[in-house]
A and B are shown apart, each in its own frame.
Chain A
Amino acid sequence: MAIDILIAEDEPSILESLDFILRRAGWSISSVTDGDAVLDVVRRLRPRMLVLDVMLPKRSGFDILKHLRADADTANLPVLILTAKGQQQDRRTAEELGANGFVTKPYSNAEVVGAVRSLLGEDARPA
């Protein structure tokens, strides 16, 4: 069973809101709350894309991204980085590591949906 989006986010309420808005947009969603689990779950579920929080317990989002890009299987997986720090330095690091999108918390729901849609290569369409 292939899913569209894997969400890696440790804050329960944020995860809930992401889950809600992305499902509402019509994608299938799976989620993970700690850094160690992300790589496994990606390999197992083979999502079309990954929404990745930077501040994850046990393993940081940037570290996970580095591993994804180093692995040929996942080198091309679209990754949308979420961060609550909102600093230029984080955005630059994300770009250098090969992130495909970057969204700062607090985000507007439309912004996240738009970014996910463009990363999935889907045209704007009614939900």
Chain B
Amino acid sequence: MLSADFVIATAIGYVCLLFVLAYIGDRRARINQRSWLHSPAVYTLSISVYCTSWTFYGAVGNAARSGLEFLTIYLGPTIVFVGWYFLLRRLVRIGHLYRITSVADLLSSRFGKSSRLGVLVTCIAVIGIAPYIALQLKAVTSSIQAVAGSSEFGQGSLRGIDDVGLALGVAAGMALFTILFGTRHVDAKEQHHGVVAAIAFEAVVKLAALVAVGIFVLYIGGGFEGIFSQAAARGVVVDTSASFDSRWITTLVLSIAAIVCLPRQFQVTVVENSNENHLRVAGWAFPAYMFLMSIFILPIAIYGLTVMPADANPDMFALTLPLAAGQNGLALFAFIGGFSSATSMIILESIALSIMVSNHIIMPLVLRFSRPQFGEGQGMSRTLLVARRFSIMLILSLGFFYFFFTRDSNALAPIGLISFTAIAQFFPALLAAIFWREASLKAVTAAILAGFVTWAWCCFLPSFESVSPAVSQLLAEGPGGISWLRPEAMFGLDGWDPLAHAAFWSLSVNVLTLTLGSLLTTPSALERIQAAAFVDVFKRPSLALRGVAPGSATATDLYFVAERVLGERRAAALFEVAARERGVDPVLLEPTPEFVGRLERELAGSIGAASAHVMLSKVVAGADVSLEEMMQMADETQQAIEYSQELERTSAELRMTAQKLEDANQQLRQLDSQKDEFLSQVSHEVRTPMTSIRSFSEILLDGDQLDDTQRQRFVSTIHQESLRLTKLLDEILDLSALERGEKNWTSQAVDADAALDRAISVCDALLRQKFIRLDHGQRAGRTMIEGDPDRLCQVFINLISNAVKYNTSSNPVVRISSALRAGNFVAEVADNGPGIAKGERKLIFEKFSRGRRGAADQTGAGLGLAISRQIVNRMNGTLDLAPSTLPGACFRVRLPVIRG
């Protein structure tokens, strides 16, 4: 025996693990669309949520009681997955195309988007599933009691708590966990990747647990043969003849219907499907999974019957056999396996049901009474989450109450079949929905209702026989003594197995009503459009997507809508084209379904599919706005908001780019005008010496009245002006080479102070010639900078000769000094000339801007300082004016030192 506290703690720990798994799965699925969460393996494992604790515990009990009958529960799904692949593929395609969220949604949208049918299907599902939920609660409760036993030690904190209290606790815990699991947020596609990941994990756990118990039983029982011979020796008889009776066929049919119509199966197979091709893998892998699940059932059952006491509950053999052998660890593992089967079923089933309840019942009510504004996407999804949580609590409460009223029945399997029969009522409608064009809303509604009522009478009601004397009296005598209405012997059909009886009558009534009703009624236009869309999903997938039936709308009504959305020109063009195709005047255009469909698609391109549908629905009389559409509209409004924000961002970027372009243009224009200015300056500077040359040449050519002195003087002027012209052209070329980034520029370590000395010695003759005193200031001494030595010398020569040229002082002085300041070599050339006028201090470094000359003999083109500054800049230094101790100008060169 294990301690109940320990078992419960293990279970809670396990659920926490699941929660972590689901959380991680959710995040991974969000981040990476291609993660393993979207693999066919996970998809297949999630489908195996079909195997609940009914399979885990109940199948063993079923095998012990009724032999091979339990196999039918696996046979049905195998037939569907292997043989009816086309059916599943069609469902999945339809689910993807029309964003189907549940069975109720599928049926309601197929049959003219009927909200009433949605409500009906939802109600039946919730009531019909209640026994199934109860089954899980019962299984978990029984299994906890089985492992804990009845000893004082084992009871732990469970002492004094009966199975009802325990089941209530389990139900509450399950509700809490399901709410935490499945309703953390609303996904537009109703996909729960995290939950699916957890379910897939549980599938592995329960399979491993059952296989482990099976192998254990084979081991201690001496293999298949040993088990069978022991059983024979003890006189244990299990009916393995597989009698092919009505019950066999019934459970087979029910399980076929269940694997398609059970809300949780529809959820995992259709809604959670992320890729149609995953069905191919599931087509063989899911039957294989079920095979592994079922292979050990019979040995466990037989061995249990052989070795366990006669009053032992065969449903719990998977737990009690290891316990009896003292294998507590294996028993705990088996318990977790069974617990897995129960939790995965409850979580997924209640999520699927809560989606149906909230989408088809609660939200329409909320919408009807609160009239929310479109665009309140946030508020809407919060309301939806609250609705889902409420639904989950409702569903588990129903399950609990069913458990409470029927707790005296021991077997698990029959309870599950009650649910199967209820859910099977959707199957004819579902088949008709996707295969039979003529099936009509009225017929389907009537058929489901009739089938449900029959089920409630023949199947659901009798399950309360043991708790209610009135029910047992009803069963025995019929209502008011009408014996042919006895729930288990309708119309004198006595002596049948109750399940087969209930299934036969309910499904017969269902199918008959559906067939006759459809043949007798005419489907509405919207139904016909939806019928074509669903039945011909593979032929014309684009057909009438959410189309609106034309109804009583006139072309004029439609035109007004189109004009409002598309604008006059496009609307008129659309109508004219349609009219021309039919050869009629646009005013007389008949709004055919095709035309309305085309118009809706055009509108959808502008305002989104749902809004387009709603808009046209308002024009076309009758059609209501369904919740699903409201949701989608909110969704699309959100998208529209995001899109417009994106647009705003993009246009802001565009504005910035345009501004940059504008700036660049401005700069280019400026450069262009600078270039014009430069050319004009060059032209001026070239024309000036040319003028003298030409004029004096002409004078000389005239040849008369010139004395030798004059002639000599004119020739010398011509010569000087040609030199000036040459120098000018050299400087222009030099400057342009510097600005372009000259090629033969050497960059090396240079002693800057030595370059200054060299410049001084070059200018020595000039200084002497002009009688200018050279004032030696402080010197930095050997200082290395990086640059071109000749160019640096050129800069200093230029500065010194400027100081000479522009110095008009009667006692002219030029002072040259250098120093090391803050890692820089700083050289200054100062003079006591007139200085630079304030307004010209910036200009003098520009091309062709001589300081307004005082000396008439200066012959520079005004490029010297511009060239010098370019050179210094290339050495990463600066050339500018500095405050001077002398009255004139002071030019300062600053260059970064590379090493002392």
Q: Do A and B bind each other?
A: yes
Using CB atoms and an 8 Å cutoff, list the residues of chain A in contact with chain B. 11-14, 16-18, 20-21, 24, 33, 55, 57-58, 84-87, 104-110
Q: How large is the interface on B (under 10, 10 to 19, 20 to 34, 35 or more residues)?
A: 20 to 34
Q: How far is the CB of A11 from chain B (nearest CB, A)?
A: 6
Q: How far is the CB of B691 from chain A (nearest CB, A)?
A: 4
Would B856 and A107 count as touching, CB distance under 8 A? no
B673 within 8 A of A: no
- Could you say which residues of chain A place their CB within 8 Å of the CB of B688? 11, 14, 84, 105
Give 1 or 0 for each of B682-708: 1 = CB within 8 Å of chain A CB. 011001111111111011001001000
Would B684 and A21 count as touching, CB distance under 8 A? no
**Contact sample, A vs B, 9 pairs, CB 8 Å cutoff:** A13-B689, A13-B696, A14-B695, A20-B699, A85-B680, A105-B690, A106-B687, A106-B694, A106-B695
B202 within 8 A of A: no
Scoring A13, A55, A58 by chain B CB atoms within 10 A of each residue's CB, the highest score goes to: A13
Residue of B680, B687, B717 near A16 (CB, 8 A) is: B717
- Could you say which residues of chain B place their CB within 8 Å of the CB of A12? 856-857
Given contacts A14-B695, A85-B680, A107-B694, 17 further A-B contacts (CB under 8 A): A11-B688, A11-B691, A13-B692, A13-B717, A13-B721, A17-B692, A18-B695, A57-B852, A57-B853, A84-B683, A84-B687, A84-B688, A85-B683, A86-B683, A87-B680, A105-B687, A105-B691
Closest 4 pairs (CB-CB, A-B): A17-B695, A13-B692, A84-B687, A105-B691
Would B683 and A109 count as touching, CB distance under 8 A? no
Would A58 and B852 count as touching, CB distance under 8 A? yes
Would A109 and B699 count as touching, CB distance under 8 A? yes
Would A21 and B699 count as touching, CB distance under 8 A? yes
Q: Which of B830-885 contact A (CB under 8 A)?
A: 852-853, 856-857
| Chain A minimum-CB-distance residue to B689 | A13
Complex: how many Å from CA A17 to CA B713? Answer: 11
- Could you say which residues of chain A place their CB within 8 Å of the CB of B683? 84-86
Would A107 and B695 count as touching, CB distance under 8 A? yes
Complex: how many Å from CA A110 to CA B689? Answer: 19
| Chain B minimum-CB-distance residue to A109 | B698
| Chain A minimum-CB-distance residue to B676 | A87
- Could you say which residues of chain A place their CB within 8 Å of the CB of B721? 13
Residue of A20, A33, A107 near B691 (CB, 8 A) is: A107
| Chain A minimum-CB-distance residue to B713 | A16
- Could you say which residues of chain A place their CB within 8 Å of the CB of B684? 55, 84-85
| Chain B minimum-CB-distance residue to A85 | B684
Would A106 and B690 count as touching, CB distance under 8 A? yes
- Could you say which residues of chain B place their CB within 8 Å of the CB of A24? 705
Complex: how many Å from CA A58 to CA B853? Answer: 10
Scoring B693, B696, B705, B720 by chain A CB atoms within 10 A of each residue's CB, the highest score goes to: B696
- Could you say which residues of chain A place their CB within 8 Å of the CB of B698? 108-110
- Could you say which residues of chain B place their CB within 8 Å of the CB of A104? 687
Would A106 and B699 count as touching, CB distance under 8 A? no
- Could you say which residues of chain B place their CB within 8 Å of the CB of A11? 688, 691-692
| Chain A minimum-CB-distance residue to B704 | A24
Would B680 and A108 count as touching, CB distance under 8 A? no
- Could you say which residues of chain A place their CB within 8 Å of the CB of B680? 85, 87
Complex: how many Å from CA A75 to CA B684? Answer: 29
| Chain B minimum-CB-distance residue to A24 | B705
Q: How far is the CB of B808 from chain A (nearest CB, A)?
A: 14
Would B695 and A109 count as touching, CB distance under 8 A? yes
Residue of A17, A33, A85, A87 near B699 (CB, 8 A) is: A17
Complex: how many Å from CA A92 to CA B488? Answer: 118
| Chain A minimum-CB-distance residue to B853 | A57
Q: How far is the CB of A63 from chain B (nearest CB, A)?
A: 15
Would B692 and A14 count as touching, CB distance under 8 A? yes
Q: Which of B707-735 contact A (CB under 8 A)?
A: 717, 720-721
Complex: how many Å from CA A106 to CA B689? Answer: 8
Complex: how many Å from CA A33 to CA B852? Answer: 13
Complex: how many Å from CA A17 to CA B699? Answer: 8
Complex: how many Å from CA A54 to CA B467? Answer: 123
Would A86 and B687 count as touching, CB distance under 8 A? yes
Q: Which of B666-687 contact A (CB under 8 A)?
A: 680, 683-684, 687
Q: How far is the CB of B26 from chain A (nearest CB, A)?
A: 75
Q: How far is the CB of B226 from chain A (nearest CB, A)?
A: 118
Q: How far is the CB of A91 from chain B (nearest CB, A)?
A: 14
Are A21 and B687 also in contact (CB < 8 A) when A12-B856, A85-B680, A87-B680 are? no
- Could you say which residues of chain A place their CB within 8 Å of the CB of B692? 11, 13-14, 16-17
- Could you say which residues of chain A place their CB within 8 Å of the CB of B689? 13
Q: How far is the CB of B686 from chain A (nearest CB, A)?
A: 8
| Chain A minimum-CB-distance residue to B680 | A85
Complex: how many Å from CA A107 to CA B702? Answer: 15
Complex: how many Å from CA A59 to CA B74? Answer: 110
Complex: how many Å from CA A85 to CA B694? Answer: 16
Q: How far is the CB of B861 from chain A (nearest CB, A)?
A: 13
- Could you say which residues of chain A place their CB within 8 Å of the CB of B687? 84-86, 104-106
| Chain B minimum-CB-distance residue to A108 | B698
Would B856 and A84 count as touching, CB distance under 8 A? no
- Could you say which residues of chain B place their CB within 8 Å of the CB of A58? 852
Complex: how many Å from CA A99 to CA B705? Answer: 33
Give 1 or 0 for each of B764-779: 1 = CB within 8 Å of chain A CB. 0000000000000000
| Chain B minimum-CB-distance residue to A105 | B691
Complex: how many Å from CA A109 to CA B720? Answer: 20
- Could you say which residues of chain B place their CB within 8 Å of the CB of A18? 695
Complex: how many Å from CA A86 to CA B691? Answer: 12
- Could you say which residues of chain B place their CB within 8 Å of the CB of A107? 691, 694-695
- Could you say which residues of chain A place their CB within 8 Å of the CB of B702? 109
Scoring A12, A18, A84 by chain B CB atoms within 10 A of each residue's CB, the highest score goes to: A84
Complex: how many Å from CA A57 to CA B849? Answer: 12
Complex: how many Å from CA A33 to CA B683? Answer: 21
Would A106 and B693 count as touching, CB distance under 8 A? yes
Q: How far is the CB of A20 from chain B (nearest CB, A)?
A: 6
Would A17 and B856 count as touching, CB distance under 8 A? no
Q: How far is the CB of B855 from chain A (nearest CB, A)?
A: 11
Scoring A17, A24, A55, A110 by chain B CB atoms within 10 A of each residue's CB, the highest score goes to: A17
Would B694 and A108 count as touching, CB distance under 8 A? yes
| Chain A minimum-CB-distance residue to B710 | A20
- Could you say which residues of chain A place their CB within 8 Å of the CB of B696? 13, 17
Complex: how many Å from CA A18 to CA B694? Answer: 12
Residue of B690, B695, B705, B856 near A33 (CB, 8 A) is: B856
Complex: how many Å from CA A33 to CA B857? Answer: 13
Complex: how many Å from CA A87 to CA B780? Answer: 51
Q: How far is the CB of A23 from chain B (nearest CB, A)?
A: 11
Complex: how many Å from CA A64 to CA B235? Answer: 139
- Could you say which residues of chain B place their CB within 8 Å of the CB of A84? 683-684, 687-688, 691
- Could you say which residues of chain A place their CB within 8 Å of the CB of B694? 106-108
| Chain B minimum-CB-distance residue to A89 | B680
Complex: how many Å from CA A24 to CA B695? Answer: 13
Q: How far is the CB of B716 from chain A (nearest CB, A)?
A: 10
- Could you say which residues of chain A place their CB within 8 Å of the CB of B720? 13
- Could you say which residues of chain B place their CB within 8 Å of the CB of A33? 856
Complex: how many Å from CA A14 to CA B718? Answer: 11
Scoring B689, B692, B699 by chain A CB atoms within 10 A of each residue's CB, the highest score goes to: B692
Scoring A18, A21, A109 by chain B CB atoms within 10 A of each residue's CB, the highest score goes to: A109
| Chain B minimum-CB-distance residue to A15 | B692
- Could you say which residues of chain B place their CB within 8 Å of the CB of A86? 683, 687
Complex: how many Å from CA A12 to CA B702? Answer: 22
- Could you say which residues of chain A place their CB within 8 Å of the CB of B693? 106
- Could you say which residues of chain A place their CB within 8 Å of the CB of B853? 57
Q: Which of B734-759 contact A (CB under 8 A)?
A: none
| Chain B minimum-CB-distance residue to A33 | B856
- Could you say which residues of chain A place their CB within 8 Å of the CB of B856? 12, 33
Would B691 and A21 count as touching, CB distance under 8 A? no
Q: How far is the CB of A13 from chain B (nearest CB, A)?
A: 4
- Could you say which residues of chain B place their CB within 8 Å of the CB of A87? 680
Complex: how many Å from CA A90 to CA B885? Answer: 43
| Chain A minimum-CB-distance residue to B681 | A85
- Could you say which residues of chain A place their CB within 8 Å of the CB of B690? 105-106
Complex: how many Å from CA A14 to CA B695? Answer: 8
Complex: how many Å from CA A14 to CA B692? Answer: 5
